[in-house]
Amino acid sequence: MTLRTHIPLEKATNTSQSAAGLCLAVALSLSACGGGNDGSPRDINRSSSEGEGWVKGEFLPADQFAHRCADPRTGSNYPDRAGSILDENNWLRSWVNDTYLWYDEVLDRDPGLYTETESYFRLLRTTERTESGRSKDDFRFTMPTHEYQAMAQSGVSVGYGIQWAIHSPTPPRDIQVVYVEPGSPADEAGVKRGQKLTAVNGLDVVHNNNTAALAIINAGLYPAQAGDNYELKFDGNLNADLTAEAITSSPVPIVKTFETESGTVGYLLFNDHTAVSEQALVDAITSLEGEVMDLILDLRYNGGGYLAIASQLSYMIADTRLTDGKVFEKLSFNDKHPDVNPVTDQPIRPMNFYSETVGLSAPAGEPLPSLQLSRVYVISGSNTCSASEAIINGLRGVDVDVILIGATTCGKPYGFYAQDNCGTTYAMTQFRGENEKGFGDYSEGFAPGSGAPGAVSLPGCSVRDDLRRQLGDPEEWRLAAALQYRESETCPTLSGGSGASMKGTVAPVEDGYIPRSPALQNRIMTGD
């Protein structure tokens, strides 16, 4: 067998890889490099210590290169041993080829050409685009492992208690408060939902394009540690002197009911699938059980989290005759791994609708309450993501009617197992979640009404976020639209709401980007 190599000329100039260069100069065949005569896939992505010999399309097991590091960490906690950048690149190449959901759309690149592993990783991806034209793979990252492994008390993060929406990260910037945590420094300073940020420490936020100034503004938006102090100025002439602290956010801050002519309607604002949300959701649903004939579930700012929470909440919403023994979500990996999870090496078993608590924060094994509904109204936005979308998809899989009010969801049916190698944690899409019916194709999101290219259209209304009113206010546009749709299956045309519309009649509404993690820094940029 002769396999052509694709080692560029510059490889031959690398003294550490001179053997490969010599092989290339003599004969472009594996056999000339000492392998392949017996048909074995040798000389493929070798360690630099063993010589060079990248062969396009041939891959050794990732384990063969794992933890062989150019700069190994020291200490008994680390599996690192001496290696090279080439080893690290080879590990990435084989790991991507084995577990990346779209491995067969990745251009195989010579790992010896890249001296920076994260740059190489960024290239090992599909370049395909979705129907609407956005990148098919929007969901990968790297970060230092020690940062990735940092832990926080569930629901706790450093900040002022403000959740921002960044409508425009470049000049003229448009940054707005969408949520203020009750009792937080921001709340005590009088910051309100809907206010726009105009300055940080006297620096103009809207138009400033100075790099040094933007560093200060970013730091002021996302304080790194408790005690950081900034003066934030908002429209309405509010100057807030804010000191960051460890803020405890409630994952379920609002649970209430509305009396209507056709019965009592429950409203539940659910912001984050944290561990502590398990008990909070049980308490919330228990308070509504037997009291409501419909539920409006507000997920507009919920970017996901523990999938087990999504399963439990879905169970608690639906008629148990629809969910008993049914699949909430099944993980589907690439076609190399149809039956066994390639990360855990365990057989792939679907996650059913959990009928009991699983012990994230509530005692494990407690029966869950249920509203016994056959339909649910979900308030959504572009930050309704992942596990929140799994709720929508999981319920649709057992024929619960989901009515969507708001904007198209983010479109993330995917997940990953982050992996450390040599002190860097890598994450890429490895699986897709599918419901009882095997459906998981919502990478363009779920859209209320029709009109969003590629999105899965659901009945409902396209309505802008009403930042002039508090969440849970029945006059707030999205909540008002949900209540109206429930009564008449019509969408309101709201005064004063440019973009608020009858369902499916205008371009999709947008909510702006809402970062949720304290690790999300540098979120505003220059206009260059």
Residues 81, 129, 146, 437: which binds other proteins (CB under 8 A)?
A: 146
By the rule CB under 8 A, 513 interacts with other proteins = yes
Beta strands 229-234 and 238-243, pairing class: antiparallel
The encoded tokens of residue 466 equal 């009403």
Residues 84, 89, 90, 157: which binds other proteins (CB under 8 A)?
A: 157
Residues 55, 307, 455, 480: which binds other proteins (CB under 8 A)?
A: 307
Torsion of CA 447, 448, 451, 455, to 10 degrees: 20
Q: Which stretch binds other proteins (CB under 8 A): 47-55, 156-164, 233-241, 483-491?
A: 156-164
Say how many residues make up the chain. 528
The smaller minimum CB distance to other proteins, of residues 47 and 130, is found at: 130
Q: Which stretch binds other proteins (CB under 8 A): 66-74, 142-150, 181-189, 437-445?
A: 142-150
Cα–Cα dist 293/259, whole Å: 11
Q: How far is the CB of 246 from other proteins (least distance, A)?
A: 5
The smaller minimum CB distance to other proteins, of residues 27 and 150, is found at: 150
Site string for other proteins, 240-279 (x = CB under 8 A): -----xx-x------------------------xxxx---
Residues 158, 216, 254, 525: which binds other proteins (CB under 8 A)?
A: 158
Q: Which stretch binds other proteins (CB under 8 A): 15-23, 194-202, 257-265, 413-421?
A: 413-421
Residues 149, 239, 264, 286: which binds other proteins (CB under 8 A)?
A: 149
Site for other proteins in 357-376 (CB under 8 A): 360-361
Question: Count of CB atoms within 10 A of residue 38's CB?
Answer: 8
By the rule CB under 8 A, 9 interacts with other proteins = no
Q: How far is the CB of 454 from other proteins (least distance, A)?
A: 17
The encoded tokens of residue 18 equal 């001179």
The encoded tokens of residue 418 equal 């982050």
Site for other proteins in 425-454 (CB under 8 A): 427, 433
Q: Yes or no: say if 82 and 65 are a contact pair by the CB < 8 Å rule.
A: no
Site string for other proteins, 174-203 (x = CB under 8 A): ------------------------------
Beta strand ranges found along 30-130 (DSSP E): 68-69, 81-82
Site string for other proteins, 35-64 (x = CB under 8 A): ------------------------------
Q: CA separation (Å) from 394 to 312, 388, 410, 472?
A: 11, 10, 16, 25
Specify the residue for token string 């251009």: 107
By the rule CB under 8 A, 528 interacts with other proteins = no
Residues 306, 315, 377, 446: which binds other proteins (CB under 8 A)?
A: 306
Residues 99, 154, 312, 419: which binds other proteins (CB under 8 A)?
A: 154
Beta bridge partners of residue 330, listed in sequence order: 434
Torsion of CA 26, 30, 34, 35, to 10 degrees: -170
By the rule CB under 8 A, 345 interacts with other proteins = no
By the rule CB under 8 A, 77 interacts with other proteins = yes
Which residues lie closer than 8 Å to 133 by C-beta, 6 or more apart? none
Question: Count of CB atoms within 10 A of residue 163's CB?
Answer: 20
Question: Count of CB atoms within 10 A of residue 230's CB?
Answer: 18
Specify the residue for token string 């203020």: 180
- Cα 77 to chain centroid, rounded: 29
Q: How far is the CB of 50 from other proteins (least distance, A)?
A: 32
Q: How many residues bind other proteins (CB under 8 A)?
A: 55
The encoded tokens of residue 225 equal 């540690």
CA 266-270-274 angle, to 5 degrees, is 145
Q: Which stretch binds other proteins (CB under 8 A): 45-53, 172-180, 202-210, 517-525?
A: 517-525
The smaller minimum CB distance to other proteins, of residues 82 and 150, is found at: 150
Site string for other proteins, 215-234 (x = CB under 8 A): --------------------
Half-sphere exposure of 415 (CA within 13 A, CB side): 23
By the rule CB under 8 A, 150 interacts with other proteins = yes
Site for other proteins in 377-396 (CB under 8 A): 385-388, 390
Beta strands 424-427 and 419-421, pairing class: antiparallel
Beta strands 263-269 and 254-260, pairing class: antiparallel
Phi-psi category of 110—alpha, beta or left, where left has phi over 0 and alpha has psi -120 to 50? Answer: beta
Write out the residues near other proteins by the rule CB under 8 A.
Answer: 77, 138-143, 146-154, 156-158, 245-246, 248, 273-276, 303-307, 360-361, 385-388, 390, 410, 412, 414-418, 427, 433, 513, 515-520, 523
